């Protein structure tokens, strides 16, 4: 059984002082239990540009999120998201 937390992101920006830019990245979660690929939260500001995110899933609990913003701003530009919840 999966013992990791399905809500833990692989890349996280947390808090109002946090700034995150993800550019020219391909992230493929095939074969891994990944709940969230990239997440900004709690007032953080993020940009995802020219990003490809594929196959983000956490089989024990839910399909997953490729990119997520929780009480934050995430600007997604020229990106492709496939195989997510």
Q: How far apart are CA 73 and CA 2, in angstroms?
A: 30
| pLDDT the model gives residue 44 | 98
Q: Please give, one letter per residue, the 3-state secondary structure of the chain.
A: CCCCCCCCEEEEEECCCCEEEEEEEEEECCCCCCCEEEEEECCCEEEEEEEEEECCCECCCECCEEEEEECCEEEEECCEEECCC
pLDDT in tens, 23-71: 999 999 888 888 888 999 999 999 999 999 998 887 655 677 889 999 9
pLDDT band at 5 (very low <50, low <70, confident <90, very high): low
| pLDDT the model gives residue 1 | 44
Decide if pLDDT at 73 tops 50.
Answer: yes
CB atoms within 10 A of CB 79: 16
């Amino acid at each position: 059984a999966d013992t990791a937390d399905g809500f833990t992101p692989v890349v996280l920006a947390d808090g109002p002082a946090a700034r995150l830019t993800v550019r020219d990245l391909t992230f493929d979660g095939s074969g891994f239990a990944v709940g969230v690929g990239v997440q900004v939260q709690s007032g953080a500001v993020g940009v995802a540009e020219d990003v490809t995110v594929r196959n983000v899933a956490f089989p024990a609990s839910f399909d997953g999120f490729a990119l997520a913003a929780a009480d934050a701003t995430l600007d997604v530009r020229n990106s492709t998201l496939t195989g997510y919840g």
